[in-house]
């Protein structure tokens, strides 16, 4: 869900169909099996390969697959990324919310933004703006909302963040001013 728009667009440009799913290996692995997805990844850097038996997360295997691909190409690795638009993004942002309220807040955020923007609600709320996106999701492990933002300009990124933070301020359970950027 937190994947760059460049990844989604590039997969489509090369004839693939991107598939967004919930964060976490224990959730991704069975979905890859059910949908017969051969390659998966997370923003954390985890790459999941479904080859021969079941999906697994192995950095050395993923690196060997990358080297295999590059050995068949006349391009350097950096040349494979040429032409991708420059995107502006944030690091992970955590906003404190009591555990008992975080899922309710995400539901209300989803409903509010869905009135105006496309929202993917598979794992939180991924809100698609015309020039970027935001994700607001309940952390699986801490009493926080986790947020990320991406846009095609710094101005758009700032505007999207402002709109999301202004919305979160409407909920008394959310302490936007205590947010932590990682």
Same domain, 58 and 43: yes
Segment 117-127, tens digit of pLDDT: 999 999 999 99
Q: What is the pLDDT of residues 138-167, one digit of tens each?
A: 998 999 999 999 999 999 999 999 999 999
Look up residue 73 and give its DSSP letter: -
Q: Are residues 45 and 10 in the same domain?
A: yes
* Interval 80-118: pLDDT, tens: 888 888 999 999 999 999 999 999 999 999 999 999 999
Per-residue pLDDT at 137: 96
- Domain co-membership, 70 together with 94: no
Percent of the chain whose predicted confidence (pLDDT) is above 90: 54
Structural domain count, the chain: 2
96 and 31: one domain?
no
| Whole-number average pLDDT of the chain | 89
Per-residue pLDDT at 1: 62
Looking at 81, 97, 121, which one is the last position of a domain?
81
Q: Which helix H or strand E contains 27, and what residues bound it? A: helix 25-35
Give the Cα separation of 40 and 23 in Å (integer). Answer: 11
**Separation between Cα atoms, residue 74 and residue 53, nearest integer Å:** 31
Give me the CATH number covering residue 123.
3.30.310.50
**pLDDT reported for residue 156:** 98
Q: Is-contact 20 28, C-beta < 8 A?
A: no
Domain extent, residue 43, equals 5-81
């Amino acid at each position: 869900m937190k994947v760059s728009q460049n990844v989604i667009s590039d997969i489509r440009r090369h004839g693939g169909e991107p598939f967004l799913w919930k964060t976490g290996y224990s959730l991704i692995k069975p979905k890859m099996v059910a949908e017969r997805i051969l390659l998966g990844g997370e923003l954390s850097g985890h790459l999941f390969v479904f080859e021969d038996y079941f999906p697994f997360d192995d950095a050395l295997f993923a690196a060997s697959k990358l080297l295999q691909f590059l050995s068949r190409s006349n391009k350097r690795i950096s040349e494979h990324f040429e032409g991708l638009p420059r995107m502006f993004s944030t690091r992970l942002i955590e906003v404190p919310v009591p555990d008992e309220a975080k899922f309710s807040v995400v539901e209300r955020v989803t409903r509010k933004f869905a009135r105006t923007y496309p929202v993917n609600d598979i794992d939180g709320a991924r809100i698609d703006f015309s020039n970027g996106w935001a994700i607001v999701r309940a952390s699986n492990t801490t009493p926080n909302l986790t947020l990320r933002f991406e846009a095609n300009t710094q101005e758009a990124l700032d505007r999207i963040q402002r709109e999301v933070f202004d919305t979160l301020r409407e909920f008394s359970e959310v302490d936007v001013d205590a947010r932590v950027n990682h």
